[in-house]
């Protein structure tokens, strides 16, 4: 499910490295936000399972 549009939404605005996998960018973004890694991994897993959660998270900002 990494091909889902949700991954592109996260990768595009905060892209730092050219050849890194999207998951690495997502994790780096999470660390940048100061979110605990363990919690963020669960968050990413749930986003991958349910992309609509990602859209809600973005809309909530």
Q: What's the token pair of residue 21?
A: 């996998």
**Residue 42: pLDDT band with limits 50, 70, 90:** confident
Residue 51: pLDDT above 60?
yes
pLDDT at residue 14 tops 50: no
| Residue 61 to residue 41: CA distance in whole angstroms | 20
Q: Report d(CA 57, CA 55) in Å as an integer.
A: 5
Token pair 């990494």: residue:
2
Please tell me the distance from the alpha carbon of residue 10 to that of residue 13, in angstroms, as a whole number. 7
């Amino acid at each position: 499910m990494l091909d889902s549009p949700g991954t592109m939404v996260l990768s595009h605005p905060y892209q730092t490295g050219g050849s890194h996998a999207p998951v690495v960018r997502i994790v780096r973004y999470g660390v940048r936000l100061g979110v605990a890694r363990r919690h963020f991994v669960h968050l990413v897993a749930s986003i991958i399972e349910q992309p609509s959660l990602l859209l809600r998270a973005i809309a909530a900002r």
